[in-house]
Amino acid sequence: MSRAALTLHDAGNKLRKREFSSVELTEAVFERIAGTESKIRAYLTLARDAALEQARQADERLKQGRARSPLLGVPLAVKDNFLTRGLRTTCASKMLANFIPPYDATTVRMLRATGAVITGKTNLDEFAMGSSAENSAFFPTRNPWNLERIPGGSSGGSAAAVAADQCIAALGTDTGGSIRQPAACCGIVGLKPTYGRVSRFGIIAFASSMDQVGPLTKDVQDSALFLEVIAGHDPADSTSVDRPVPLYSEALTGDVKGVRLGIPKEYFVRGMQPEVELAVRTAIRALEKNGAVIEEISLPHTEYAVAVYYIVATAEASSNLARYDGMRYGHSVHAKDLTDTYMISRQEGFGAEVKRRIMLGTYALSAGYYDAYYLKAQRVRTLIKQDFDEAFKHCDVIVTPTAPTTAFKLAAKIQDPLQMYLSDIYTISINLAGLPALSLPCGFDQAGMPIGMQIVGKHFDEATILRVGHAYEQATEWSKRKPDL
Amino acid sequence: MKLTREEVQRIAVLARLRLTPEEETQLTEQLDHILAYMEKLDELETSKVEPFSDAVDAVNALREDKVTNLPDADAVLANAPDRDNTFFKVPKIIE
């Protein structure tokens, strides 16, 4: 087995025991990339030389025995909507095709400080808007389990890179499911932390009341270790919360006795692929056998979540993307007057889905429609959050499928935006309510595609969802399966 | 409700987006379809529900007003479409 196939915790242990060096591990990862990338296309930018230099520095620190961080010397990929100082950051948009950030995102700075090795920048749906990675302005990424299928989105490049062992783990962002849904599609583990748990400073803003940063990893232990490094307060992000960061890896006791699993009846209805339902229900029974207690719960406003999300997220996006004006950075066309400069720069710089969302959001915020759409959506959003507050009086975590189907074929939904939006039906409520949620593999369908289970927690209770996910993972072998590339 | 092409044109100006006639046609149809789906929210009576403001009851974050970023004008201006020394050069907007 190639060293590139190691988990973060195995790789970290072996580095600290000096079984191999960070340079050797990094070279193994780049060998793997060289052997698979023409099929997968997970990366928009590779940073081999810088990565090897970071690996040499990590090896110095490892030699000095100052090796406490689990990420020291470990090659990680970063979604291309995180600013990386001096390393091209495109957000998969023509708008930023040549953008070189003058500073690092806080989480990237944390990775550098802890001695992680950054392999490169991964593909995504343009401006993180999409569920298939097909909205990248450059090229689509393929699912390592089946090259005719999507890897999910928007963090499709990060998910595919982890699944294909093109990195040890990766950073992603999740606004409506963009870490969890691709993790489910690619058979890996994805964690969206609580809103405010991880700094968003330096990630390219999409919908600021929901954007959150999180890890995509090969197993749950890796997710806990990664989160320990990136969680915490950042004065540069006024929405990040100043509260202690628990040692998540110590919460992984394997014990779920007495943990109450809430099963929302609204999540097991129409439209779901039968194999997904069967796999998730089987997983719930496995947890029950290990001592967890099942509680049927209700989240009555679930059916309104997609409508609320696509009003709130597009409204925020239309405001956030107003900054791309062709003046200070980004694609710019010098036209006859200022308005034309704005309009043509934006016409050429943005792709179809981004334009669609800017239009929808501008409409929802415009005079005469604000109350009917934006304010109405924010009221229903309160009802959705209250559903979770009520449910969590009766359970400790909520268990659902991550997505209604396994990864679909490329081009299957690209012509029908509303169908594409409905792929996020199980993940978006969690962002609307600001909750933490984990997606982990719980089986495969008959076509051999991975199935994901979602475990949702109370605000700031990442420890419990990681504990439940880890206990399930210990009892099964799904996370250990690898695609045949 | 039926979204009109004129309305799409008006929104595009507000959003500072130039659209081709084909894009106008496609967006009129697609946005109308999506907005019809949004009308689902009208099923709910919400006049007594407070609009959502924050998921985790965060309080206003204040900090000292001091410069924390390092001055690196060249790195910033390297991305500018046009520059003049340490300034962004932009189209003239007043006569």
pLDDT reading at B69 higher than 80: no
**Considering all CA atoms of chain A, what is the largest pairwise distance in Å, rounded to the nearest integer?**
70
Does residue B53 lie within any of the structural domains?
Answer: no
Residues A91 and A233 placed together within one structural domain of the fold: yes
Residues A168 and A314 placed together within one structural domain of the fold: no
H helix count then E strand count, chain B: 3, 2
- CB-based contact (8 Å) between A324 and chain B? no
- CB-based contact (8 Å) between A377 and chain B? yes
Q: Are strands A43-46 and A117-122 parallel, antiparallel or unpaired?
A: antiparallel
Query: How many domains does one find in chain B?
Result: 1
Q: Which residues pair with A397 in a beta bridge?
A: A261, A457
Per CB-CB distance under 8 Å, the chain A contacts of B7 are: 363
| A381 close to A311: Cβ distance less than 8 angstroms | no
Question: How far is the CA of A153 from the CAs of A177, A184, A240, B42, in angstroms?
Answer: 8, 10, 24, 30
Q: Are strands B83-84 and B87-88 parallel, antiparallel or unpaired?
A: antiparallel
Q: What is the pLDDT of residue B1?
A: 62
Q: Which one-letter amino acid corresponds to residue B20?
A: T
DSSP B60: P
A94 belongs to the catalytic site: no
Does residue B34 lie within any of the structural domains?
Answer: yes
* Residue A209 to residue A434: CA distance in whole angstroms: 8
Nearest CB to A385: which of B7, B52, B78? B52
Q: Do B30 and A381 touch (CB under 8 A)?
A: no
Number of CB pairs < 8 Å for A and B? 154
Three-state DSSP class for residue A463: helix
Q: Do A334 and B52 touch (CB under 8 A)?
A: no
Nearest CB to A358: which of B15, B81, B82? B15
The secondary element (H helix, E strand) that includes residue A93 is none
* Residue A26 to residue B47: CA distance in whole angstroms: 58
Query: Confidence class of residue B64 from pLDDT cuts 50, 70 and 90?
Result: confident
* Residue A108 to residue A104: CA distance in whole angstroms: 6
Residues A343 and A223 placed together within one structural domain of the fold: no
Q: Which residues pair with A457 in a beta bridge?
A: A397
How far off is chain B from A353, nearest CA to CA, in Å? Answer: 10
Residues A34 and A144 placed together within one structural domain of the fold: yes
Q: Do A310 and B58 touch (CB under 8 A)?
A: no
CATH of the domain at B34: 1.10.20.60
The reply to whether ipTM tops 0.90 is yes
List all residues of chain B from 67 to 86 with a beta carbon under 8 Å from chain A: 68-69, 72, 75-76, 78-82
Q: What is the pLDDT of residue A326?
A: 93
Query: How many domains does one find in chain A?
Result: 2
- CB-based contact (8 Å) between A247 and chain B? no
Residues A196 and A88 placed together within one structural domain of the fold: yes
Q: Which one-letter amino acid corresponds to residue B45?
A: E
Q: pLDDT tens digits for chain A (485 residues)?
A: 799 999 999 999 999 999 999 999 999 999 999 999 999 999 999 999 999 999 999 999 999 987 779 999 999 999 999 999 999 999 999 999 999 999 999 999 999 999 999 999 999 999 999 999 999 999 999 999 999 999 999 999 999 999 999 999 999 999 999 999 999 999 999 999 999 999 999 999 999 999 999 999 999 999 999 999 999 999 999 999 999 999 999 999 999 999 999 999 999 877 789 999 999 999 999 999 999 999 999 999 999 999 999 999 999 999 999 999 999 999 999 888 899 999 999 999 999 999 999 999 999 999 899 999 999 999 999 999 999 999 999 999 999 999 999 999 999 988 888 888 888 899 999 999 999 999 999 999 999 999 999 999 999 999 999 999 999 999 999 999 999 99
Per CB-CB distance under 8 Å, the chain B contacts of A360 are: 31, 34-35
- As to burial, measured by CB atoms within 10 angstroms (0-12 exposed, 13-18 middle, 19+ buried), residue A55 is buried
Q: Could you list the residue range(s) of the whole structural domain that residue A73 is in? A: 3-259+396-480
Q: Which of A334, A353, A379 is the last residue of a domain?
A: A379
Does residue B25 lie within any of the structural domains?
Answer: yes
B56 CB-near residues (< 8 Å, 6+ apart):
A194, A195, A196, A241, A434, A459, A460
Residues A59 and A177 placed together within one structural domain of the fold: yes
Per CB-CB distance under 8 Å, the chain B contacts of A99 are: 79
- CB-based contact (8 Å) between A24 and chain B? no
Residues A363 and A437 placed together within one structural domain of the fold: no
Q: What is the pLDDT of residues A102-123, one digit of tens each?
A: 999 999 999 999 999 999 999 9
Does residue A284 lie within any of the structural domains?
Answer: no
Q: Could you list the residue range(s) of the whole structural domain that residue B34 is in? A: 5-43
How far off is chain A from B65, nearest CA to CA, in Å? Answer: 12
Per CB-CB distance under 8 Å, the chain A contacts of B91 are: 334, 337-338, 341
CATH of the domain at A177: 3.90.1300.10
Q: Which of A322, A346, A379 is the last residue of a domain?
A: A379
Does residue A286 lie within any of the structural domains?
Answer: no
- CB-based contact (8 Å) between A435 and chain B? yes
Per CB-CB distance under 8 Å, the chain A contacts of B29 are: none
Q: Which of A349, A379, A409 is the last residue of a domain?
A: A379
Residues A372 and A420 placed together within one structural domain of the fold: no
Nearest CB to B15: which of A308, A334, A359? A359
Per CB-CB distance under 8 Å, the chain A contacts of B61 are: 235, 238-239
Does residue B86 lie within any of the structural domains?
Answer: no
Residues A80 and A38 placed together within one structural domain of the fold: yes
Q: What is the pLDDT of residues A315-370, one digit of tens each?
A: 999 999 999 999 999 999 988 889 999 999 999 999 999 999 999 999 999 989 99
Q: Do A338 and B79 touch (CB under 8 A)?
A: no
Does residue A280 lie within any of the structural domains?
Answer: no
DSSP A409: B
Q: Which of A147, A162, A134, A78 is nearest to A419 (CA)?
A: A134
Residues A54 and A116 placed together within one structural domain of the fold: yes
- CB-based contact (8 Å) between A127 and chain B? no
